[in-house]
A = this chain, B = another copy of it.
Amino acid sequence: MDTAFAPSMIEAPHPRNDLAALPELDIEQLQRHMLVTQRKVRAGQYLYRNGQPFHALYLVHAGFLKTCELTVDGREQVTGFRMRGDLLGVESIGLAVHTCDAVALDDSVIWELAYPPVLNACLHVPELQARLAAALAEEIRRDRAWMLSIATLPAEQRVASFLLDLAARLARLGFSARHFILRMGRADIASFLALKHETVSRALSHLERLGHISVQRREVKLLDVAALRSLVGLPCTVQ
């Protein structure tokens, strides 16, 4: 069981094992000041669901998850994909229950930080407080960047932008930015990009025909990062 719990992140030439290197939150520092429990979530299972009582934040240690908003009338929207170092549940701070779903797309290992205790720890460790605030702000900036892309870019460029963003995040974690396996289906990408899955599929096919990428189902290779960057209006220099 537990031995089989190795999240399937392939293509990791330089994996880092220290979360401390991440700007977000330092798990060891957290453990010094509060109870941190480990939780494992199998692919397809919920970390938390809309309406469940909110009592903790979650720091992704390994694996891959998506967060979804949903409405009473059945509309659904993927609001983000989360990986190692990302903090989940922050959108429910100040509320009694969670307001969205978090679903594992791959077997995942999560550090659970009981919520009121987190605030107490922050009171005693100023640096921790600053980091928590910064993590929330980073979340806001991420959402704002998404808004900008969705509102101003056509379909194909949204897809290109998505691939570049994913690549950059993988690179920060020490994985290959040029060759990776998508852990989500076309429908999830489409929802996230406010498109339909057929459109995402067509965009990927077209980017491949242009020679910018190579795609075979969920395996993606970025062949011409400069071309992708210029496509979405970014400077062509690496990173």
Contacts and interface: CB of A to CB of B under 8 A. Distances in A.
B77 A137 contact: no
Contacts of A94: 130, 133-134, 137-138
Contacts of A140: 90-91, 136, 139-140, 143
Given A140-B139, A141-B99, A235 B72 contact: yes
A24 to B, nearest CB: 10
Given A119-B133, A140-B140, A148 B92 contact: no
For this chain, the copies found in one complex come to: 2
Contact of A147 (B126, B141, B147): B147
Interface residues of A, number: 47
A176 interface: no
A75 B161 CA distance: 14
Interface string A102-145: 00000000000000000110110010011011101111110111
A160 to B, nearest CB: 14
Contact of A91 (B95, B100, B144, B234): B144
A146 B148 contact: no
A69 interface: yes
Given A94-B138, A126-B119, A143-B144, A152 B77 contact: yes
A151 B191 contact: yes
A159 B76 CA distance: 19
A147 B143 contact: yes
User: What 10 pairs across the A-B complex have the smallest Cβ distances?
Assistant: A94-B134, A73-B233, A93-B137, A151-B194, A136-B136, A143-B143, A75-B152, A77-B148, A91-B140, A69-B148
Interface of A: 69, 71-73, 75-77, 79, 90-95, 99-100, 119-120, 122-123, 126, 129-130, 132-134, 136-141, 143-148, 150-153, 191, 194, 233-235
